[in-house]
Structure 1
Amino acid sequence: MGKLDGIIKIQGTLDNLTFYKSADGHFVRTKGGVSKNRIKNDPAFQRTRENGTEFGHSASAAKLLRTGVGIMLFHAKDRRLSSRLLGIMAQIKNLDSRSARGERKVALGLTTAEGKQLLKGFDFNAQAALNSIFYPPLVLDTGSGKVTIADFVPKQQILAPEGATHFSLQSAFLNLDFATGIFETTYSPVDNHIIDNTAISVNLNPSGVPAGTGIAFYLMLIEFFQEVNGVQYVLNNGSYNVLNILDVV
């Protein structure tokens, strides 16, 4: 695989060369490989088919979680989120000790403590990790999804980006069944504050306990703003924002 370095950027296939664009730039590679029909039917490629099936399942599980998180995801994510989350789902799928190779499921992997631990603390924006930006201790009630943060000073306990004058907090309670694809998400109201040396306490209460018998995810979103003439503007299109999975039950 070579990287395309030139004024004219091509995408598509030309003779035996395939030109394509990824997040890392423009690349070119030669055509070739085994035909799809052989991979689909040749016994020699049984392992390949099994790996492909499980890869597709892991990708679907990652997409389902992103969908379940809902509107919060539009406020805090990085460009490699899909691939990072896919990698974790593949690890969780491997924890399914009941199913045959090629049929292992994320839903079964998440019944294990190890599977839940792989998603606990996950940051949807790798450039803004919760534990490197937000230092106050928080208390999570897994029954109601309520997040309590008592008596903290924003100026001293939040590593805010340069230019930020305000921040907001919001929590979410997601119930997601990976086996059926059914989910429900509830959100707390957005709680907005100035970044100064005044001590505050925050209570983030989701609107209710989501229905279902799936896996419970508890999330928190932190957004940063700059106030100009009484209007708050999101800093750098949200690239400093935090979205974290606080716990998985």
Structure 2
Amino acid sequence: MYIAVLQVFNLNIGVMAQQTGIIPLVGTLNGINFYYLNGKPIARKAGGGFTRKRIKTKASMERVRENASEFGHCSAVNKAFRSALNPFYKGYTFTHFHSRLMGLFTRIKALDTTHKRGERLVANGIGQAHGLQLLEQFSYTPACDVRQVLPFEFRVSDPDLALSIADFDIAQVGFADGATHMALTYGVLDFDFNHLNYALHLAPPLVLDRSYAGATLTLEPATLPSGLGTALYVLGVRFYQEVDGALYVLNAKGSVGIAVLKCL
């Protein structure tokens, strides 16, 4: 049976080739690996690929080892950072949030000029002025851009770190489809990028409906950071729908947003 099947393939294999034939194979046969790559049947000679031993010992794999080490470090930072931000989006799943943050921390890590490749750290990149800019300018939730949803000026006062929004006009707020209410959550995230410890100092959430008539908003954290690490002023927005007097959180695309307003 295998002979009959192989006869319908045109295997011109140097390193790798796409299978052509009636019945794509999966597995290893006569020194050839058959598998799927991105939905396409592929055939290649068995052996010669990456193995754990080769990656650990071969000089030619040094760059692979360096990349793997830094990737693992950025992944750990990513996990801790997402956990710290969780109160702003609890119960909601962002598409590609993990991978997009990996891109952010990889860029910040690359700013570390004090360590050699393979040992560069996000914390050292954060220590650079451009590192803080990357944290502030990154679009954490593109489907719900907080600065577009709330097109107002944000101010943080000293020493209470209260966030104020002057000239507020509910008519200018970009409400999500179907939303009747908006909740604003503000907090100061004290994040230690060296040891991945953090503390989040939150203000009481502020819930507004579409008929809100106030012109000034103020959100003040109940506690203040103690200097654990980098201070990030974070504003979150979440939309709700009122049904029979009860508020239900919306989980549709564009209904949850997060922004880092400033870093110190």
TM-score of Structure 1 vs Structure 2, range by shorter chain: 0.7 to 0.9
Work out whether 1:138 is the aligned partner of 2:154. Answer: yes
Deviation at 1:76, TM superposition (A): 5.7
Alignment of 1:150-165 (within 5 A): 150-155=166-171, 157-165=172-180
1:229 matched residue in structure 2? 244
Work out whether 1:59 is the aligned partner of 2:72. Answer: no
Q: Which runs of 5+ in 2 are unaligned?
A: 1-25, 28-32
Deviation at 1:212, TM superposition (A): 3.6
Residue 116 of structure 1 is aligned with which of 124, 132, 139?
132
* RMSD of aligned alpha carbons: 2.5
Greater shift after overlay, 230-239 or 40-49?
A: 230-239
Query: SS of the counterpart of 1:89?
Result: helix
> Of the two, which has the highest radius of gyration?
2
| Residues 64 and 142 of structure 1: CA distance in aligned 2, closer, same or farther (over 3 Å) | farther
Query: SS of the counterpart of 2:176?
Result: coil
1:6 matched residue in structure 2? none
Deviation at 1:150, TM superposition (A): 2.5
Work out whether 1:213 is the aligned partner of 2:228. Answer: yes
Deviation at 1:213, TM superposition (A): 3.2
The one-letter code matched in structure 1 to 2:151 is: Y
Query: SS of the counterpart of 2:236?
Result: strand
Asked if structure 2 preserves the Cα contact closer than 8 Å seen for 1:138 and 1:150, the reply is yes
Deviation at 1:227, TM superposition (A): 1.0
Displaced runs of 4 or more, over 6 A:
none
Query: SS of the counterpart of 1:120?
Result: helix
Alignment of 1:1-150 (within 5 A): 15=27, 16=33, 27=39, 33-74=49-90, 78-141=94-157, 143-150=159-166
How far apart, in 1, do the equivalents of 2:113 and 2:134 lie?
16
Q: In percent, how many aligned pairs have the same letter?
A: 29
| Residues 209 and 27 of structure 1: CA distance in aligned 2, closer, same or farther (over 3 Å) | farther
Aligned residues: 232
Question: Which deviations, in whole Å up to 9, do the C-alpha atoms of 1:20-67 show, x marking residues without a partner?
Answer: 9xxxxx846758732121011111111111111111111111112112
Deviation at 1:151, TM superposition (A): 3.8
How far apart, in 2, do the equivalents of 1:126 and 1:177 lie?
26
How far apart, in 2, do the equivalents of 1:174 and 1:58 lie?
19
| Residues 145 and 70 of structure 1: CA distance in aligned 2, closer, same or farther (over 3 Å) | farther
Deviation at 1:18, TM superposition (A): 5.8
| Residues 195 and 63 of structure 1: CA distance in aligned 2, closer, same or farther (over 3 Å) | same
Q: Which runs of 5+ in 1 are unaligned?
A: 1-13, 21-25
Question: Which deviations, in whole Å up to 9, do the C-alpha atoms of 1:66-112 show, x marking residues without a partner?
Answer: 12223213266521111111111011111111111110100011011
